[in-house]
Amino acid sequence: MFLGMSSNAYEYMANVITPYQHGYVPLIGEFLVIENEAEYIVARITDVAPRGEFTTFMGEKWLADVALFEDAIGQDIKSQKITYLVHIKLLGRIDRESNEFIPGVRSVPHITSKVRRPSRALVKEICNKALEEQ
């Protein structure tokens, strides 16, 4: 879920919050797309930081106490207690109808906009556009 963005002179950075999902870990460098009106905002993950109760002093103490017990922390506990703050760099936008990648960002997605991994076809379009410009 999109949380908001900031900018400096030449780039736009944003934050996304994602829940713990069995079988998925946000990867540095991975592309993401943010739903925004008639387009997708294209972003790339620059940093991932865990959030939630396990990152508090008492949470870390509890984790240290159960670390030696295999399967001490079940999937249900992880799903309830772990989230990740994902820092992303906004790269451009993709028109939903033409699937054309356009560098640069013109509008800000609403807070709570959905964020997801793009299809292989969208990643191919993004990479091909970057190669064309180089």
What is the gyration radius of the CA atoms in the chain, in angstroms? Answer: 17
**pLDDT tens-place string over residues 22-52:** 888 899 999 999 999 889 999 999 999 999 8
Give 10 or 131, the one with higher predicted confidence. Answer: 10
Q: Is the pLDDT assigned to residue 15 strictly greater than 90?
A: yes
CA–CA distance, 82 with 125 (Å, rounded to integer): 33
| Whole-structure pTM value | 0.83
Give the per-residue pLDDT at 133. 65
Mean pLDDT computed over every residue of the chain: 88
Tell me the C-alpha to C-alpha distance, in Å, between residue 112 and each of 13, 21, 58, 125.
Answer: 16, 18, 30, 26
Burial class of 76 by CB neighbour count within 10 A (0 to 12, 13 to 18, 19+)? exposed
How far apart are the C-alpha atoms of 40 and 34, rounded to whole Å?
A: 5
**How buried is 126 (Cβ within 10 angstroms: 0-12 exposed, 13-18 middle, 19+ buried)?**
buried
Read off the pLDDT of each residue in 112-125 and give the average, rounded to a whole number.
Answer: 88
